[in-house]
Every structure is written in structure tokens, then in C-alpha cells.
Structure 1
């Protein structure tokens, strides 16, 4: 299975950890999940945009900590490197947002399909709950040798994912997690993960999108958490 690497693991209000964003290299192509405010500078330092002939960007939703540097990535790739990025997000509203930011539509290719393939990886967008006024999606990625789930921002996990993970069909879950449960949920509370998954399976659940440091508590309860790649 392709190894998922992280450029950041923080929430919108915890920029020191970097905006939560992941990537993997597949057949010399860069596949990026989300492009928040801190992401372009990381990609620039690592020269990932230059080194990969094709660039694919999967967007979970349009909050700024997930698309804030998308215009810069598109513009740099198009005007400086002479390439068009391929973007996947199931709603046309992203094109309108990019229009308002002055990004010409010739500079990128946007797909609104919920089921698509990037090389040998089949990807399925699953609607999830985060905020009422915005479309949010988690993604099931089917590599040739394993399936993983990437939640984006969500306070729920789709039944399809829960059942697939418990049955051993989904090997890893990367889940937006918050330490405490509140009246108004927008991120998945740790207590919900505890109620859903037995201790012996928690090592394959990687928590992310941290507003505060509770990694030690995650370890004590058997969960894993994402580590950010040094640049």
C-alpha cells in the first residue's frame, strides 16, 4: 500500500501544527488531499510540484484551512511550471470560489464525480457531516493491496466505513478527532471513537486535525495519530 504522508495535522486555529493535509506519490504523480493556508509553502520547500509530472488534488471541503493555498498552487503550477492540476471535489461551488479569487478556469481541471480513479487507485467520495452550510466529504481510497478511509472534517463516520473497518476490509482510518464532546459538534469526539471501535483495532485508527495536544491520551486509549513529515 502506498504510504500516506502528512504535511500538517492541525486545525484551523492551531496553525503551528500546519493545516491538516496528506499526500502520496503514485506512479510519479503527486496526489494531495486538501490544500490549506500552510500547504503551498510546504510543497514549495519540498519541490513536490516540480518533481511530479502530474498533480491531483482531492478536496474534502472549502473551509480556508483546507483550500486556502489552492489558488497559489494552481497559479504556480500553471504559470511557472506549465502544468494544469487535476482537482476533485463533488460540488461546482469550488469553481465559483476560484473564480472569485481570480483563478482562470483554463488553469485547472475540476471533476465533480463522486467515484473516480487516479491511476490504480479507485476513490469514492462519501458525504459527511461537519457544518450545515458547506458540503463536506470523506474519501475511501482503494489501493491495489488495501483500502483506507480519510475523513476530512467530520463529526461522524459513515456506516459503510465502520462496517468495512470492523470486517477487516478497510485497513486504516484517518479521522478528524477532537478531545472533548460539546453540544454543537463539528469534529469527531474521542469518546465516539472509543464507543465504536474495540481496543485491539484502534492502532489502525490515525487521529488528526488537532486543536490541542492530547496525543498521550490517544496512546493510552490505544489509538494512533498522524505524524508530520519534516521539511
Structure 2
């Protein structure tokens, strides 16, 4: 399942960013600075190896070979799925592309949830970050799904977050380790995701200790407790603005904090 480089909200030291691996591909959910820092400091192969418990995804022989030869490229492709363009979600994107090109020698695919977000990201990466076009490929989620039959990406789900990014905030429906996964990104409501939350779904949802118009208040998430329980949904909370307050509030529930890598 997903592991997190950080699970903090916009003003946290470690912003929300997650990853999982499929074969030799590493998939990043957003790319804040903490994601770049962790990958650079600990090495991209480290996180591939620590996912070796995903035995149905990563062949044991492949993991053993990596342990024998740490210089071998464990990851053949880095795929980065972007939910929206707030800086706490894409702050490390340009750096990661540069580093993957110059140091790791790994191709990067950036997935934008829509054409409009793709155009925004394209301008940023080319005109502002100065990333060479040869260093990355930028596609929409729809394009990626059409051309890739590995099946991990099922859909980009439009949602509502902040007025200034109206129509440009998304979550994702994924398939990881054979399980249905819903990843909300930043959102003020769970409603757009409910059709995708089927039985035995693993839900990674943002959560706020405060009742605002731009994030999901923890009490509103708790209102779905019966629905989650009746459908055997596993709930992991991310993008946390007050971890202690949220941890205290969910202490007597089945909710868990998103697991850190």
C-alpha cells in the first residue's frame, strides 16, 4: 500500500506526499519538497527495497538482486501523479525531474489530472523551472490510462478545494496490490469520491482539525463511520494540520494516520 514521505498540511515542515511501487516503476502522489529531500538523501532504491513486502507486485528474485547489487537501478521509471498545483504539492517537482535526469538517469512521467492542469504544469516546468523537455513526459490522466494497461491508474476525480483553483483540484482512483484505492488530494468534501468507495476500499483522505471551507473537518469524516464500517473501508488520514488533535479525536475509532515511510 501507500507510504508517506510526509503527511502534513500546507504550513507543516513535511508536506503531504506518498508513493508506491509496481514492478520497477515508482509512483509518487504529488511531489512536495519533502519527497525530493527523502529520495535524494536516502536514495530512490531504498524506497523500492522497503516496499518488498508487496510480494504480489515485486518479485522476490528482483528484491534479492537489488540487495546484492545496490548500484543496480531498482527503479526504471518515476511516475508523478499531481492532484493540484499548490506549492505544498508540487514544490519538489522541478528538482525531482532535474535530479532524475542528471543523477539517477531515470525517465520521469508527470501525470496531470486534466488538460488545464497539464498546460499549467507545462508552463511552470518549461518556462519557470527550466526543465529540459527530454527529461520528462507530461500527459493527462486520461492519456495515461489509454496508453497503459498495467491498470494501477483508474480515474482522476474532480473535487472542490479552494476558489482560486476551481476546476483544477482532483483526487485519484487507483488499484494497488489488487485493492481499490481512493486518494482524495486536497478537498473540502468527500462527496465526489463516494461512487468510487466500494467494498474493501482503502481510502486515503485529507483531514483537518478545524472546520473551514477548504478542507474536510475531522467531525465530517466521522459522520461517514457507519458507511465505512458497513463497507469494510480502511481509512487513513493525511494532510494533517494538527496531528495531536486529530490523533486524540480518532483514538476510539478505526481511523488511522497515514503510514510514514
Q: TM-score range by the shorter chain?
A: 0.7 to 0.9
- Structure 2: runs of 5+ lacking an equivalent: 46-72
**Aligned mates of 2:130, 2:103 — CA distance in 1:** 17
Among 209, 234, 241, the alignment partner of 1:204 is: 234
Structure 1 or 2, whichever has the larger Rg, is 2
Q: Which has the higher strand share?
A: 1
Q: Which has the higher helix share?
A: 2
RMSD across aligned C-alpha pairs, in angstroms?
A: 2.1
**Aligned mates of 2:189, 2:149 — CA distance in 1:** 26
Contact in 2 for aligned 1:36/1:70 (Cα 8 Å): yes
The equivalent residue for 1:173 is 203
Decide whether aligned partners of structure 1 residues 69 and 208 sit closer, same or farther in structure 2, where only a CA change above 3 A counts. Answer: same
**Aligned mates of 2:242, 2:177 — CA distance in 1:** 35
**Aligned mates of 2:149, 2:34 — CA distance in 1:** 25
Which runs of structure 2 are paired with 1:133-172 in the superposition (5 Å)?
Answer: 133-134=164-165, 135-143=168-176, 145-159=178-192, 161-165=193-197, 167-168=198-199, 171-172=201-202
Q: Which runs of 4+ in 1 moved over 6 A?
A: none
- Structure 1: runs of 5+ lacking an equivalent: none
Aligned residues: 220
Decide whether aligned partners of structure 1 residues 151 and 107 sit closer, same or farther in structure 2, where only a CA change above 3 A counts. Answer: same
The equivalent residue for 1:127 is 158
Contact in 1 for aligned 2:182/2:196 (Cα 8 Å): no
Decide whether aligned partners of structure 1 residues 29 and 164 sit closer, same or farther in structure 2, where only a CA change above 3 A counts. Answer: closer
Q: CA deviation at 1:106?
A: 2.2
**Aligned mates of 1:118, 1:38 — CA distance in 2:** 30
Which runs of structure 2 are paired with 1:1-231 in the superposition (5 Å)?
Answer: 3-15=1-13, 18-48=14-44, 51-89=74-112, 90=114, 91=117, 92-99=119-126, 100-114=128-142, 116=145, 117=148, 119-134=150-165, 135-143=168-176, 145-159=178-192, 161-165=193-197, 167-168=198-199, 171-182=201-212, 185-198=213-226, 200=229, 204-213=234-243, 214-229=246-261
Decide whether aligned partners of structure 1 residues 118 and 44 sit closer, same or farther in structure 2, where only a CA change above 3 A counts. Answer: farther
Decide whether aligned partners of structure 1 residues 6 and 118 sit closer, same or farther in structure 2, where only a CA change above 3 A counts. Answer: farther
